[in-house]
């Protein structure tokens, strides 16, 4: 019995000691949240940078800077918010006792953080965190999610991507032997190309085989099915949550109104960093995705001036290849040929030219429209001839939207009560690893952000986010 009392006393003392230890640890905490289809490595660039500030005593050594959190973004905002709460509670049970709890979130991660805040408020009337910095977060939703959220929209998107692929490859499919012999520099294909002049049926057979091969290859490694669409679309749950003014976004916005009217115990300090895309916007967005995936274990400065060079170079090479084949088909026309053979060469030349034109012009416009970078409306115009009669034309009117490559500016700054800061010429993907985004975070945490310093009404924001130990 005596031993039992002793063990109970020891247990009680342990609990008291633990509670005292938790109460003593009031150091600030910084947590990173990635976006849709991201991972813990997505924000390592900013994590390492801020961690280095702490090592050289620019940030107070007591500040807890946690490695970026991994959560299941494909399950939607609600599940992701629960994931984040469980992960944080697992590695820091004292987290909610810290007076400064700062979340730095990219893209969808900002909505996840805000939903986590809503859940915590309603379950315990406490704040999940006290400060939030979002990087290119779609606070009111995205155009691409709204489009793909419907079955008809998804089918339209997929159909457009398939049409784009076939349009780009039209010349190759119409003249497959020439395409293969040009791409694959082997004598056998040169011989087959010469033989097809004698055996037209052979070219048709190779053409069908080549077309099926092209489709199979694109089903395996193409941009629209295996890379870009998964990058842009995510799951249907995500699309539902990220659509413009979705139910979950309305819930979050309602919560913000309550927080800003002081119905809750304290006010969350909020900052929205938003991007500013420059042309060529689609190439830059896709290239940034490729660069980040390829260099995911390298967190040096993103080569901003060269980010789209590889992709544009590839498109230029393909376009030049298409033009050469168009010219070769024209040069193959001889005066002694039958009209049918001459027309065949002309059609092949025209197909190659259409492929090149689509790659240079239409491909970019299709993607701009699909991603919500531009809106296209057709106006009808009737032209009357002086000799009578008239013709009606449909003229496209293109309106460019303020956009960072994936989320329009108005959506990025739609967080009530937030201090808004524009980062020039940084798009959605670049926001994760761009040096200028790192500099913006540094100035905020250093207490030297110009916008915060100039506006006396933001003095509390400036004081709250300042974590530096030295000035």
**417 in any annotated domain:** yes
Q: Which helix (H) or strand (E) holds 218?
A: helix 200-221
Quick one: pLDDT at residue 52? 86
- For strand 374-384 and strand 269-274, is the pairing parallel, antiparallel, or unpaired? unpaired
Tell me: do 293 and 349 sit in the same domain: no
Residues in CB range of 190: below 8 A, 6 or more apart: 181
- Is 347 part of any domain? yes
Does residue 86 form part of some domain? yes
Tell whether pTM > 0.85. Answer: no
What pLDDT was estimated at residue 273? 97
Query: What is the extent of the structural domain holding 33?
Result: 27-142+243-302+405-465
Sheet strands side by side (includes 64-65):
64-65, 29-33, 101-106, 131-135, 269-274, 419-422
User: Do 108 and 194 fall into the same domain?
Assistant: no
Q: In this predicted structure, what is the pLDDT of residue 103?
A: 97
Residue 238 lies in a domain: no
DSSP string across 355-409: HHHIIIIIHHHHHHHHTTSEEEEEEEEEEE-TTS-EEEEEEEEEEE--BSSSSBH
- The verdict on residue 470 lying in a domain is no
What's the pLDDT score for residue 271? Answer: 96
Q: 193, 178 in Cβ contact below 8 A?
A: yes
Boundary residue ending a domain (355, 371, 387): 371
Q: Which residues of the chain have pLDDT under 70?
A: 1-24, 153-154, 156-234, 258-266, 277-315, 361-373, 376, 394, 396, 402-405, 469-471
**What's the domain count of the chain?**
2
Q: Does residue 292 share a domain with residue 263?
A: yes
Same domain, 224 and 313: yes
Please give the DSSP secondary-structure letter assigned to residue 1.
-
pLDDT at position 407 is: 84
So what's the pLDDT on residue 8?
41
**pLDDT number for residue 293:** 63
Residues making up the chain, counted from first to last = 471
The structure tokens 């915590």 sit at 120
Q: Do 254 and 358 fall within a single domain?
A: no
**Residue carrying the six token digits 């376009």:** 319
CA distance 229 to 391: 40
Residues 132, 266: one domain? yes
Residues 38 and 129 in one domain: yes
Query: Mapping DSSP to helix (H, G, I), strand (E, B) and coil, where does residue 270 land?
Result: strand
User: CA end-to-end span of the chain, whole Å?
Assistant: 60
The CATH code of the domain that includes 86 is 3.40.50.1820
Both tokens assigned to 145: 């999610």
- Token duo for residue 434: 């761009």
Question: Is there a single domain that holds both residue 225 and residue 331?
Answer: yes
Question: Would you state the pLDDT for residue 121?
Answer: 87
End-of-domain residue from the set 371, 390, 413: 371
Q: Does residue 184 lie within any of the structural domains?
A: yes
Q: Which two tokens stand for residue 257?
A: 């109104």
Residues 138 and 249 in one domain: yes
Q: Cβ distance 115 to 341 under 8 Å?
A: no
Q: Are residues 221 and 328 in the same domain?
A: yes
Residue 105: count other Cβ atoms within 10 Å of its Cβ.
27
Q: Do both 157 and 132 map to the same domain?
A: no
Q: Is residue 165 part of a domain?
A: yes
Tell me whether residue 388 is in a domain. Answer: no
A 10 A CB-CB count for 255 gives 21
Using CA atoms, how far apart are residues 180 and 410, in angstroms rounded to an integer? Answer: 47
Whole-number Cα distances in Å, 287 to 43, 109, 278, 321: 18, 22, 13, 21
Domain-ending residue, one of 371, 386, 418: 371
Distances (CA, A) of 229 to 37, 165, 430: 11, 13, 19
Angular region, 57: left φ>0, alpha ψ -120 to 50, beta rest = left
Question: Do 214 and 249 lie in a common domain?
Answer: no
């Amino acid at each position: 019995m005596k031993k039992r009392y002793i063990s109970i006393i020891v247990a009680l003392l342990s609990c008291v000691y633990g509670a005292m230890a938790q109460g003593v640890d009031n150091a600030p905490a910084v947590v990173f949240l990635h976006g849709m289809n991201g991972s813990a490595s997505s924000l390592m660039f900013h994590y390492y940078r801020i961690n280095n500030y702490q090592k050289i005593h620019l940030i107070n050594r007591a500040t807890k800077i946690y490695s970026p959190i991994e959560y299941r973004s494909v399950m939607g905002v609600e599940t992701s918010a629960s994931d984040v709460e469980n992960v944080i509670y697992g590695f820091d049970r004292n987290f909610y006792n810290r007076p400064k709890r700062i979340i730095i979130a990219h893209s969808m991660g900002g909505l996840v953080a805000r939903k986590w805040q809503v859940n915590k408020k309603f379950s315990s009337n406490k704040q999940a965190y006290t400060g939030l910095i979002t990087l290119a977060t779609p606070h009111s939703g995205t155009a691409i999610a709204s489009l793909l959220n419907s079955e008809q929209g998804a089918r339209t998107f997929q159909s457009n991507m398939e049409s784009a692929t076939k349009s780009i490859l039209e010349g190759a499919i119409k003249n497959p032997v020439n395409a293969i012999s040009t791409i694959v520099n082997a004598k056998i294909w040169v011989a087959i190309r010469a033989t097809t002049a004698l055996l037209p049926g052979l070219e048709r057979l190779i053409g069908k085989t080549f077309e099926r091969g092209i489709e199979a290859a694109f089903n395996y490694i193409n941009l629209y099915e295996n890379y870009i669409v998964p990058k842009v679309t995510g799951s249907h749950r995500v699309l539902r949550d990220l659509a413009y003014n979705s139910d979950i976004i309305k819930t979050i916005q309602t919560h913000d109104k309550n927080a800003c009217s002081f119905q809750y115990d304290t006010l969350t300090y909020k900052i929205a960093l938003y991007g500013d895309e420059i042309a060529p916007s689609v190439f830059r967005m896709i290239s940034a995705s490729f660069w980040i995936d390829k260099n995911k274990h390298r967190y040096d400065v993103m080569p901003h001036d060269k980010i789209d060079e590889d992709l544009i170079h590839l498109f230029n090479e393909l376009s030049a290849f298409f033009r050469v084949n168009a010219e070769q088909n024209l040069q193959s026309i001889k005066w002694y040929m039958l009209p049918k053979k001459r027309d065949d060469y002309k059609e092949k030349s025209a197909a190659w030219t259409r492929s090149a034109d689509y790659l240079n012009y239409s491909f970019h416009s299709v993607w701009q429209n699909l991603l919500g970078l531009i809106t296209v409306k057709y106006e009808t115009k009737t032209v009357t001839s002086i000799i009578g009669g008239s013709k009606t034309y449909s003229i496209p009117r293109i309106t460019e939207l303020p956009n960072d490559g994936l989320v329009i500016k108005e959506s990025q700054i739609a967080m009530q009560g937030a201090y808004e800061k524009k980062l020039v010429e940084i798009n959605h993907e670049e926001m994760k690893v761009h040096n200028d985004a790192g500099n913006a975070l540094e100035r905020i945490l250093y207490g030297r952000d110009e916008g915060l310093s100039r506006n006396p009404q933001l003095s509390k924001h400036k004081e709250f986010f300042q974590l530096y130990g030295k000035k």
